[in-house]
Amino acid sequence: MKFELPEKASVETLEIDAREVEAMLQGPKMDLKPWPGAQVKLKDGRILFIREARLDEAPKMLTYMEKIMHVDHDFYDIVGARVYSEILGWYRSRLKDPYTLVGLIDGKWAGFANGRLMNEDINISLHTMALLRGGRIGAVMYYAKAYYGFEILGNKEWWATYESYNGWMRWGLGMAQPSYPWPDVQHELGGAKVYYVTKKYWDQLIKQYVRQMAGADLDFNVSDEVRKANEELIVPDEILV
């Protein structure tokens, strides 16, 4: 759009550095404390190591997610497509204050969990995926990101929603999460219901969840050996779900 100028301008065409536009588009980032890395011994004895994904790993994560979004059972397709856009949003700085956790077994990518901070109080849970089935890896990944929100970032509330029966069963039902009145309050993922956890409810009940689910707590005392074995994220050759 162009309007006539109400005053003479000595320079009529302004030159703008795209870096200045970038600052406008991104806005200031919150200073998020890092996830320190934790391990969980799965029921079959394998060690799942949960660490933050590195930005340089995003391209290979995207390549794998491109395959996952064609899996047409258990809602892997829609979750895969949305996770693809979230990884890209993180990679291209088009997601406000995201965090991206990966679950690895001997380096192999087995689980995914991400979210973003709406503000200092509210943590928006985005997606969780088990890339290997049957080990309750998804359950553990979700718990780890909620732990990150409440225990490390100091959030007061957790907002989630569910696209799949397995997701709803694992956490909506599995954590007995209440929901806000709908459609008055809607989650950013498709306008679905917001299921929530408060810090009080987390402290009262949900901290026991991972022990009940996986039979072990998150262990932050991770050996150098485990960290080293999971330094490189290895994308599986084929779809395993």
Which positions lie near ligand COA, rule CB under 6 A? 74-76, 79, 127-130, 133-139, 162-164, 166-167, 170
How many angstroms separate the Cα of 91 from the Cα of each of 34, 112, 124?
Answer: 17, 16, 18
Taking the complex as a whole, how short is the minimal distance between the CB of residue 215 and ligand COA, in angstroms? 12
Q: In the complex with ligand COA, which residue's Cβ is closer, 44 or 225?
A: 44
Q: How far apart are CA 238 and CA 37, in angstroms?
A: 26
Q: In the complex with ligand COA, which residue's Cβ is closer, 75 or 201?
A: 75
Q: How far apart are CA 182 and CA 188, in angstroms?
A: 13
How many angstroms separate the Cα of 75 from the Cα of each of 7, 71, 78, 134, 166?
Answer: 58, 8, 6, 16, 9
Taking the complex as a whole, how short is the minimal distance between the CB of residue 17 and ligand COA, in angstroms? 40
Taking the complex as a whole, how short is the minimal distance between the CB of residue 166 and ligand COA, in angstroms? 4
Taking the complex as a whole, how short is the minimal distance between the CB of residue 110 and ligand COA, in angstroms? 9
Report whether 79 contacts 129 (CB < 8 A). yes
Q: In the complex with ligand COA, which residue's Cβ is closer, 77 or 151?
A: 77
Residue for token pair 């943590």: 123
Q: In the complex with ligand COA, which residue's Cβ is closer, 117 or 160?
A: 160
